[in-house]
Chains A and B, each alone.
Chain A
Amino acid sequence: MAEDRKYRWVGTRPIRHDGVDKVTGRANYGADFALPGMLWGKILRSPHAHARILRIDTSRAEAMEGVKAVATAADLPEQRPGGATDLSNNILARDKVLYHGHAVAAVAAITAEIAAQALDEIEIEYEALAPVLSLDAALADDAPILDTARRARGMDDTGPTNIAARVDFSRGEPDQAFASCDVVLERSYETQTVHQGYIEPHACVADTKADGLVEIWCSTQGTFTVRSLTADVLGLDKSRVKVTPSEIGGGFGGKTTVYLEPVAALLSRQSGRPVKMVMSRDEVFRATGPAAASRIELKVGATQQGQLVAATARLWMEAGAFPGSPVQAAAMTILAPYKLDHLFIEGFDVVVTKPKVAAYRAPGAPQAAFAMESLLDELAQQLKIDPIDLRLANAVAAGDQLPYGPRYKTIGMKETLEAARDHPHYSAPLGENQGRGIALGFWFNNGLNSSAEVYLTEDGTAVVVTGNPDIGGSRASMAILCAEELGIDVMKVRPIVADTETAGYTDVTGGSRVTFATGWAVVNACRVIIEDLRRRAAQIWECDLEQVAFDDGRCLPVEGSGLSHDPLSVAEIARKMGSTGGPINGQAQLSARGAGPGFATHLCDVEVDPETGHVDVIRYTAIQDAGRAIHPAYVEGQMQGGAVQGIGWALNEEYLFDDEGRMENASFLDYRMPVASDLPMIDTVIVEVPNPIHPYGVRGVGETPIVPPLAAVANAVKHASGVRMQSLPISPPRLLAALQEQAAE
């Protein structure tokens, strides 16, 4: 239960514990690690978007001087049904290549240059097949089928199809309810394939020892995930793989799977030497998880007064080469923020010949919110209702049911909308060609499994050990929670991110879960220590445990206990560790449930150049319920980062493919993520509606902020230019064409 008390450290902004290493360039990232005798591994990638592999001849490469190992899918164990077949086929293609850039073979050599030359010596015979580059192409009656053996999950036998799965959710009788609505809007929305755009490319070193043990050093969001997936692909027991995380230069969900690690481990096994692999930016774009392109058909009915009555949504999302788009999450979120008695949602997971998608911050929700929040903006305009008022009038609250079943507990949706309405930004005047958009975002947030160990040192400082790579300042949050619990100085806590054999099992740094769940484990581990400290004080005072209280870093006699000892500080008891029972450590693990959903409302002002279609974001405010901001600066950082990524998604980011399915813009030059000079300062407002289940009221904050910006930008463009863009990105050529179409009408 969230406690309402005054905090000493929670809500403060100490410098991050890993900060000095990072700003002085000493922190070690994925590509920084090296071992003696190490080889360099490189991957040969498919020149086709879709082809059958007829023959692979690696003999010339193997014969090259300096080449120590060559691997193909034939060197990986066959997966049993239900095993890691798709993953294995993604990291080294077996019978077919399914996207341009799909890994086909790998080489390890004494230099990176020789490895690269050896790739040229591998001969592969392909039978090229027609690429499938869009939802339309994948769903066409005569579409080339990526995997003829696959059948759609959740559908009656369809025969061979590119639909991998179907999901649906329903409530009430939407079709009948539409008939009673005063206004019904039916619209279609599209988004393109985008990349997470983390600055650090994937990198690892793998060392397979003579006894078969595999050690991996890599940049990842989840060491235990790398352990598990690598073991699965290689057919090993999980205890045979040890993973040590480097610092991580961004992931945003894209580093929650493996691409290189099993291949490097395999090459290491073959060569008997450690193998290092580092992707180029080109490889990152072509072969690692982008986020899904989508099409959403949305129909919403309302009364003249602006009460939502019914809605139906049909969603299609591209999974890339293998099943697994986030369409289910998109379907679950699209109508989640609004009270609706009648709804029907249907989603399709569709495979295409593009790289397999990976998680990207609130997977599926930005595309879904783009549709719903755009449509609501249009509805508000049509009904002449303020867009915030329209959302407030239909906002869910505690007790309301989500489209997929459960009921909301305490949430902060209305609070973020009210904060937006009352913010000076919302009423600031606008100039010529300028417009303002608002949009709301919802995300589940996740709990999952976490462990934490806290070791008290003899001088009363503490070491906190967890297994979550620190991707957004979580070390600082772990330290704050520990300092708050133990009542010690936050800079005297040393938060450590440990390897898979040092930290207890901990799920991935993802799902906005680390401060919520792993932080909770840290709190519980500290409480184990506090119990121990009280026990020791009782021993020293020769009294009962019940007579000892703990408050603000000190054991002291419970009021009314009749005892009159001076309080004993953590440091004082720690100093007496040896004579009071030995080391003082706390350990805790949990499967955290009740991650309170996150809500955010974003305000965006843009200026449109009517002659070029260029959109300039001139003011942006992100407002979000954080439950409780443990370290507000890193909460704000998440809000700003999410907003910026969403702005990029809205304005210029998209994968461009030629007719053969080759990606044409696999570089930061032509894959146009926003740069600093493109953006105004992103203002933030943290709203705190504590999550009742968490000891500090924490909700996840990392993903929600990427949900609203797509629609916030599109809505702003509409109000600046009169054009409603239902297809992203709103790049200058597309917007100019739309402006001209509007002028011609």
Chain B
Amino acid sequence: MQRSFERPQTLEQAIGLLEKHGDAARPLAGGTDLLVQMRAGLLRPAVLVDLKGIEELMSLELGADEVVIGAAHSTASLRENADLVALFPGLLEAAELIGSEQIQGRASLGGNLCNGSPAADTGPALAVVQAVCEIAGPNGRRTLPVAEFLTGPGATALGVGEILVSLRISRPPARAADAYLRFIPRTEMDIAVVGAGAWVRLEADGSCAEARLSLGAVGPTVLPVALDALVGGPIDDAALATAGEAASAAARPIDDKRGTIAYRRQVSGVLARRALRIAADRAAQRS
């Protein structure tokens, strides 16, 4: 099979290439998922369409209302933006967990999402900050919430020729913050056994105004956990215990080499509690 490598400079060119070659073509961002899969013989795309020549995918804008992160922007360079880290510490925690220093020089949020792994670290973190996916394709542009973008293991809402251009996230309101925790048996070089993204907004009196929780690696895609019970009350041990139980109940894990069903359920609750606690503490700091 003849392999070719294309590096379009515009979105239109990239979309054109993807449309033309259909299944035989694959977009390439950092390649830290794609190249590994190719080497393992799981994928043999004839045409690689490198997206890193397209400005919009490489950009990072911290606007007055909204932050826009180019889908192919490397996580290493996101981490270096102190303003971004201050705005979304949880999202950056998730991004920082991806691979080593070298991997982060290549890895992107777009790649992490488009790869569609149920265990991807930024999925839950992006879901709780209600990130919106900006998509461009042969039929123009559209947007989708992250939770709808991810549709199942290895699957996304992208159609033929479509590209994830950027992630748009509203600036957090007052007294609101995010957090992300994952559990792995080691400290590095591992795939989440459970991931938990949390987001909390507090009232001026410290009670809970809004709380969001999303779990990774314990379902076919990112799992939202309803936390209505927390609203109006203090975020204390009892509230966190309730949240933990809700998380364990919501988890729909499988048994595999990385963890058992029972274990993942249990740890979902533990991480939910811990992540919510961190998010609440951060939110309190932002009064």
Q: Give the chain B neighbours of A736 by CB distance below 8 A.
A: 263, 266-267
Is B85 among interface residues, defined by CB-CB distance under 8 A?
Answer: no
Contacts of A611 on B, CB cut-off 8 Å? 266-267, 270
Q: In the complex, what residue of chain B is closest to A648 when comparing beta carbons?
A: B186
* Chain A residues closer than 8 Å to B258, beta-carbon distance: 670
Which residues of the partner chain A approach B188 to less than 8 Å between Cβ atoms?
675, 677-678
State the interface size on chain A (CB cutoff 8 A).
Answer: 22
Q: Which stretch (A426-434, A661-669, A685-693) binds chain B? A: A661-669
Q: Is A669's CB under 8 angstroms from B263's CB?
A: no
Question: Does B187 lie within 8 Å of A677, measured CB to CB?
Answer: yes
Interface residues of B in 182-214 (CB under 8 A from A): 183, 185-191, 193
Contact between A675 and B263, CB atoms less than 8 A apart: no
Is there contact, CB below 8 Å, between B191 and A672? no
CB distance from B73 to the nearest CB of A (A): 25
Contact A669–B191 (Cβ < 8 Å):
yes
- In contact, A675 and B189 (Cβ under 8 angstroms): yes
Is B45 engaged at the interface, CB distance under 8 Å to the other chain? no
Bound Cα distance from A656 to B262, whole angstroms: 18
Q: Determine which of A656, A668, A672, A677 lies in contact with B185 in the assembled complex, contact meaning CB atoms within 8 Å.
A: A672
Known A668-B189, A733-B259; judge A614-B266 contact (CB<8 A).
no
Report chain A residues within 8 Å CB of B266: 611, 736
Q: Interface 1/0s, chain B 216-239, versus A by CB < 8 A?
A: 000000000000000000000000
For residue A652, which residues in chain B have a CB less than 8 angstroms away from its CB? 185-186
Instruction: Please determine whether B185 and A614 come into contact, CB atoms closer than 8 angstroms.
Output: yes
CB distance from A494 to the nearest CB of B (A): 36
Q: Which residues of A lie under 8 Å from residue B37 when comparing CB positions? A: none
Contact status of A664 and B257, CB under 8 A, knowing A612-B270, A674-B186, A675-B188: yes
CB B62 to nearest CB in A, in angstroms, measures 31
Q: In the complex the two chains form, is A733's CB within 8 Å of B263's CB?
A: yes
For B267, give the chain A residue with the smallest CB separation: A612
- Chain A residues with Cβ under 8 A from B9's Cβ? none
**Bound-state Cα–Cα, A384 to B183, Å:** 37
Q: A731: which of B185, B191, B262, B270 is its contact (CB, 8 Å)?
A: B185
> In the bound complex, do residue A670 and residue B257 qualify as a contact, i.e. CB atoms below 8 Å apart?
yes
Residues of B within 8 Å of A675, CB to CB, are 186-189
B244-276 interface with A by 8 A CB criterion: 257-260, 262-263, 266-267, 270
Judge whether A732 is part of the interface by a CB distance below 8 angstroms: yes
- Between A651, A668, A672, the greatest number of chain B beta carbons within 10 A of the residue's beta carbon is seen for A672
Report how far A665 CA is from B257 CA in the complex, Å.
7
Q: Which secondary structure characterizes the binding site on chain A?
A: loop
Residues of B contacting A668 with CB < 8 Å? Answer: 189
- By secondary structure, the B interface counts as loop
Q: B185, B187, B257: which contacts A732 (Cβ < 8 A)?
A: B185
User: How distant is B224 from chain A, measured CB to nearest CB, in Å?
Assistant: 22
Residue of B nearest to A733 (CB): B263
Within 8 A of B (CB), among A600-623: 611-614
The answer to whether A678 touches B186 (Cβ under 8 A) is yes
Q: Report the nearest A residue to B256, measured CB to CB.
A: A664
Residues of B within 8 A of A669 (CB): 189-191
Contacts of A614 in B (CB 8 A): 183, 185
Identity of the chain B residue whose Cβ is nearest the Cβ of A654 in the assembled complex: B257
**In the complex, which residue of chain A has the Cβ closest to the Cβ of B273?**
A611
What's the Cα separation between A677 and B186 when bound, in Å? 8
Q: Least Cβ distance of A49 to chain B in Å?
A: 17
User: Which residues of B sit under 8 angstroms from A677, Cβ to Cβ?
Assistant: 186-188
Q: How far is the CA of A577 from the CA of B187 in the complex (A)?
A: 60
Nearest neighbor of A658 in chain B, beta-carbon distance = B257
Q: What are the residues of chain B within 8 A of A612 when measuring CB–CB?
A: 183, 267, 270
From known contacts A652-B185, A664-B257, A736-B263, infer whether A672 and B190 are also in contact, taking CB-CB under 8 Å. yes
* Cα of A611 to Cα of B266 in the assembled complex, Å: 8
Could you tell me the distance between the alpha carbons of A614 and B266 in the complex, rounded to whole angstroms?
Answer: 13
Question: In the complex, which residues of chain A have a beta carbon less than 8 angstroms from the beta carbon of B191?
Answer: 669-670
User: When each residue 627-651 of chain A gets 1 if its CB lies under 8 Å from chain B and 0 otherwise, what string results?
Assistant: 0000000000000000000000001
Of B259, B260, B267, which is in contact with the most chain A CB atoms at under 10 Å from its CB? B267
Query: Who on chain B is nearest to A614 by CB?
Result: B185
A726: min CB distance to chain B, Å = 20
8 Å CB interface, A250-308 against B: none
- Cα A611 to Cα B187 in complex, Å, equals 17
List, in ascending order, chain B residues with CB within 8 A of A665's CB.
257
Contacts of B183 in A (CB 8 A): 612, 614, 732
A675 to B186, CA, bound (A): 8
| Minimal beta-carbon separation of B163 from chain A (angstroms) | 28
**A732 to chain B: which residues have CB within 8 Å?**
183, 185, 193, 263
Instruction: Tell me, in angstroms, the Cα distance from A736 to B259 when the chains sit together.
Output: 12
Shortest CB-to-CB span from B90 to chain A, Å, is: 19
Nearest A residue to B183, CB-CB? A612
Bound Cα distance from A611 to B191, whole angstroms: 19
Report the Cα distance A675→B188, complex, angstroms.
Answer: 7
- How far apart sit A530 and B185, CA to CA, in the bound complex (Å)? 57
User: Nearest Cβ in chain A — how far from B1, in angstroms?
Assistant: 10
**Cβ contacts A118-135/B at 8 Å (1 or 0 each):** 000000000000000000
Specify which chain A residues have a CB less than 8 angstroms from the CB of B193 in the assembled complex.
732
Per the bound structure, the CA–CA distance linking A731 and B193 in Å amounts to: 12
Q: Write the A723-743 contact mask toward B (1 if CB under 8 angstroms, else 0).
A: 000000001110011000000
Report the minimal beta-carbon distance from A162 to chain B, rounded to whole angstroms: 26
**Most interface-central of B186, B189, B193, B260 (chain A CB within 10 A):** B186
CB-CB under 8 A from A656, the residues of chain B are 257
Kindly provide the distance from the CB of A205 to the nearest chain B CB, expressed in whole angstroms.
23
Interface flags, A702-745, vs B, CB<8A=1, else 0: 00000000000000000000000000000111001100000000
* List of A residues within 8 angstroms of B263 by Cβ: 613, 732-733, 736-737
**Which residues of A lie under 8 Å from residue B260 when comparing CB positions?**
733
Residues of A within 8 Å of B259, CB to CB, are: 733
Minimum CB–CB distance from A577 to chain B (whole Å) comes to: 53
A669–B186 alpha-carbon span in the complex (Å): 10
Residues of chain A within 8 A (CB-CB) of B185 are: 614, 651-652, 672, 731-732
A164 → chain B, closest Cβ, in Å? 29
A609 nearest CB neighbor, chain B only: B270
Please measure, in the bound complex, the distance between the C-alpha atom of A664 and the C-alpha atom of B258, giving whole angstroms: 10
Cβ contacts under 8 Å, A678 to chain B: 186-188
Could you tell me the distance in whole angstroms from the C-beta of A403 to the nearest C-beta in chain B?
37
Chain B residues with Cβ under 8 A from A651's Cβ? 185
Q: In chain A, what residue has the closest Cβ to B244?
A: A611
CA distance A104 to B191 in the complex (A): 33
Across the two chains, which residue of chain B brings its CB closest to A656?
B257
Hey, which chain A residues are within 8 Å of B189, CB to CB?
A: 668-669, 675
Contacts of B187 in A (CB 8 A): 675, 677-678
In chain A, what residue has the closest Cβ to B260? A733
B110-146 interface bits toward A, Cβ cutoff 8 Å, 1 = contact, 0 = none: 0000000000000000000000000000000000000
Against A, the Cβ 8 Å flags (1 = close, 0 = not) of B71-105 are: 00000000000000000000000000000000000
Cα separation A664 to B188 with both chains bound (whole Å): 20
Which parts of B2-33 form the interface with A (CB within 8 Å)? Answer: none
Show 6 residue pairs from A and B whose CB-CB distance is below 8 angstroms, ordered by the A residue. A656-B257, A668-B189, A670-B191, A672-B185, A677-B187, A677-B188
Q: Would you list the 10 A-B pairs with minimal beta carbon distance, nearest first? A: A733-B263, A677-B187, A611-B270, A664-B257, A675-B188, A656-B257, A652-B185, A678-B187, A678-B186, A677-B188
4 further interface pairs, Cβ-Cβ under 8 Å (given A652-B185, A670-B257, A736-B266): A611-B270, A612-B267, A672-B190, A675-B189
| Residues of chain B at the chain A interface (Cβ within 8 Å) | 183, 185-191, 193, 257-260, 262-263, 266-267, 270
Q: Which residues of A contact B (CB under 8 A)?
A: 611-614, 651-652, 656, 664-665, 668-670, 672, 674-675, 677-678, 731-733, 736-737
